[in-house]
């Protein structure tokens, strides 16, 4: 494939934008090549500045559950733009989106709309602190909750890709009230709760971790978190920025049967526009200003264009009852292909990861936490990424990001992808 135009753009971008990109993982550093620059996208396809076409399993890192540029979403956005792009004042649409979120996730009796997942989680943590009057929070190594200061501690996603668990520039005092437990390890949570008795405001968790690759909770783990938070008077926050409206219409609480006190959403809830949300029960959310003393605000919060994209997307998901079964089936087929290729596969619904785990011991091949994920062979992952991209298939350029399946990925395209996975293994065996 020819990448001349992308190369030119990258050269220019590096002079103007740190690393040439507006979010680190996009720089493709972990896979030893330069990024392609996207010009447009439609359905399951991305088209770059050189006219190359890629079958897209990144789906904008999660929002694209319907595929790119769904005609109904695009039309609704086009129409709303005519009436103004931002008002900084309440609209009927915000009420409608709040109603839809509540219909999908009944635990969310009240919701605040914000502009990014980072903002949603940062605000939910503030609410938990304001509500409980406590300062500390427990998070899990390898879980990623956006880039607010206190949450960049043993974080997943781009920090794992760059092998830097903690960001520079975060004052020790901010990170000091963030305690880190081991995902899927009950004892590590109980020990922190005991050591910090009466000080923990919340346990913050990705109910299905998807920023150290996909790592589902082991049986009973979320139920344990629900019990122990109640026992110690802390809140349970589900960070559903990735899993919300993805695992099921009701997200992780419907998928796993475990209910949290606070939820954060992003990605799908904005239908491809910059919109995120946090919410929970009426009592907890009544802490938020102007009702209560927890302050949070934003000029573009509830932006009418983003809200319209979110409403339209959620309505499509609510009307099309078969969608979750379809994407689940497709992801299962991909998981089979990775499994046949001898890789460790983790999957939850339409989220999956193939892990290039090193070591021969079968029990050592499970990936259940940050340490397991860190043992993966990054060079082997990079070789696989490049093999797929050379065949026009774009998977996330990092071992530690999820593979997303959309409704626009036809069965035929899934089979093509399985063929490319088989060819990669074949090439390795023959080589
Ligand atoms: N943190 C997101 C991935 N887990 C953002 C990636 C991006 O948009 O570059």
Q: What is the pLDDT of residues 246-288, one digit of tens each?
A: 999 999 999 999 999 999 999 999 999 999 999 999 999 999 9
How far is residue 236's CA from residue 119's CA, in Å, rounded to a whole number?
18
CB 351 within 8 A of CB 208: yes
Predicted pLDDT of residue 360:
52
Which atom in ligand 1 lies closest to the alpha carbon of residue 401? 4
Both tokens of residue 124? 């939910």
Choice from 24, 25, 272, 401 to test ligand 1 binding pocket (greatest atom count within 8 A of CB): 25
Establish whether residue 22 lines the binding site of ligand 1, counting it when its CB lies within 6 angstroms of any ligand atom: no
In sequence order, the 6+-apart residues with CB closer than 8 A to the CB of 419 are: none
Taking CA atoms only, the protein residue closest to ligand 1 atom 7 is 23
Mean pLDDT, the chain, rounded, equals: 95
Q: Which tens digit of pLDDT belongs to each residue from 212-224?
A: 999 999 999 999 9
Q: Is 92 helix (H, G, I), strand (E, B) or coil?
A: helix
CB 236 within 8 A of CB 260: yes
Predicted pLDDT of residue 72:
98
How far is residue 337's CA from residue 354's CA, in Å, rounded to a whole number?
10
Active site residue 239: yes
CB 236 within 8 A of CB 264: no
Task: Count Cα atoms within 13 angstroms, Cβ side, for 272.
Answer: 21
Predicted pLDDT of residue 358:
67
In sequence order, the 6+-apart residues with CB closer than 8 A to the CB of 227 are: none
10 Å Cβ neighbour count for 155?
A: 27
10 Å Cβ neighbour count for 272?
A: 25
Establish whether residue 358 lines the binding site of ligand 1, counting it when its CB lies within 6 angstroms of any ligand atom: no
Q: Is 311 helix (H, G, I), strand (E, B) or coil?
A: helix
Phi-psi sector, 142: left (phi>0), alpha (psi -120 to 50), beta:
left
Helices (H), 257-303: 282-285
Both tokens of residue 245? 């409206």
61 alpha carbon to ligand 1 midpoint, in Å? Answer: 6
Predicted pLDDT of residue 155:
87
Active site residue 428: no
How far is residue 28's CA from residue 117's CA, in Å, rounded to a whole number?
22
Classify residue 43 by its DSSP letter. Answer: B
Residue with tokens 């081991």: 182
Is the model's pLDDT at 429 over the cut of 80?
Answer: no
Active site residue 144: yes
Is the model's pLDDT at 77 over the cut of 50?
Answer: yes
Phi-psi sector, 346: left (phi>0), alpha (psi -120 to 50), beta:
beta
Establish whether residue 28 lines the binding site of ligand 1, counting it when its CB lies within 6 angstroms of any ligand atom: no
Is the model's pLDDT at 364 over the cut of 90?
Answer: no
Both tokens of residue 333? 């087929």
User: Vertex 8, ends 6 and 10: CA angle to 5°?
Assistant: 65
Mean pLDDT of 155-165: 79
Both tokens of residue 323? 């969608």
How confident is residue 363, by pLDDT bands cut at 50, 70 and 90? very low
Name the percent of the chain lying above pLDDT 90.
89
Predicted pLDDT of residue 430:
52
One of 136, 139, 267, 330 is an active-site residue; which one?
Answer: 267
Predicted pLDDT of residue 431:
46
How confident is residue 362, by pLDDT bands cut at 50, 70 and 90? very low
Burial class (CB in 10 A: 0-12, 13-18, 19+), 12: exposed
């Amino acid at each position: 494939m020819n990448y001349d135009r992308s190369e030119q753009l990258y050269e220019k971008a590096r002079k103007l934008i740190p690393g040439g990109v507006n979010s680190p993982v996009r720089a493709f550093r972990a896979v030893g090549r330069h990024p392609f620059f996207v010009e447009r996208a439609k359905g399951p396809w991305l088209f770059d500045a050189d006219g190359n076409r890629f079958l897209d399993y990144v789906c904008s890192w999660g929002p694209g559950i319907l595929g790119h540029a769904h005609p109904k979403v695009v039309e609704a956005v086009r129409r709303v733009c005519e009436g103004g792009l931002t008002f900084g004042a309440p609209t009927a649409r915000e009420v409608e989106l709040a109603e839809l979120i509540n219909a999908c996730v009944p635990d969310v009796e009240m919701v605040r709309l914000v502009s990014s997942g980072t903002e949603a989680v940062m605000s939910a943590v503030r609410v938990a602190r304001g509500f409980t009057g406590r300062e500390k929070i427990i998070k899990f190594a390898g879980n990623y909750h956006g880039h607010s200061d206190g949450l960049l501690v043993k974080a997943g996603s781009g920090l794992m890709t760059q092998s830097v668990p903690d960001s520079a520039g975060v004052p020790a005092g901010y990170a000091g009230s963030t305690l880190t437990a081991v995902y899927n390890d009950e004892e590590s949570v109980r020990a922190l709760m005991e050591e910090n008795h009466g000080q923990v405001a919340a346990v913050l968790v990705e109910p299905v971790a998807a920023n150290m690759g996909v790592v589902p909770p082991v049986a009973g783990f979320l139920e344990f978190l629900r019990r122990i938070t109640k026992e110690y008077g802390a809140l349970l926050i589900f960070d559903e920025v990735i899993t919300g409206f993805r695992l099921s219409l009701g997200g992780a609480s419907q998928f796993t049967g475990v209910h949290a006190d606070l939820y954060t959403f992003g990605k799908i809830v904005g239908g491809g526009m910059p919109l995120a949300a946090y919410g929970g029960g009426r009592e907890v959310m009544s802490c938020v200003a102007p009702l209560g003393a927890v302050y949070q605000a934003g000029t573009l919060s509830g932006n009418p264009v983003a809200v319209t994209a979110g409403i339209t997307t959620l309505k499509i998901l609510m009307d099309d009852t078969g969608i979750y079964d379809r994407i689940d089936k497709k992801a299962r087929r991909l998981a089979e292909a990775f499994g046949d290729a001898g890789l460790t596969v983790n999957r939850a619904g339409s989220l999956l990861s193939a892990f290039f785990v090193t070591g021969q011991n079968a029990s050592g091949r499970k990936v259940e936490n940050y340490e397991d994920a860190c043992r993966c062979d990054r060079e082997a992952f990079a070789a696989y990424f490049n093999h797929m991209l050379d065949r026009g298939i774009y998977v996330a350029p990092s071992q530690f990001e999820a593979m997303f399946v959309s409704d626009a990925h036809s069965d035929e395209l899934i089979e093509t992808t399985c063929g490319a996975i088989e060819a990669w293994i074949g090439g390795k065996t023959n080589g």
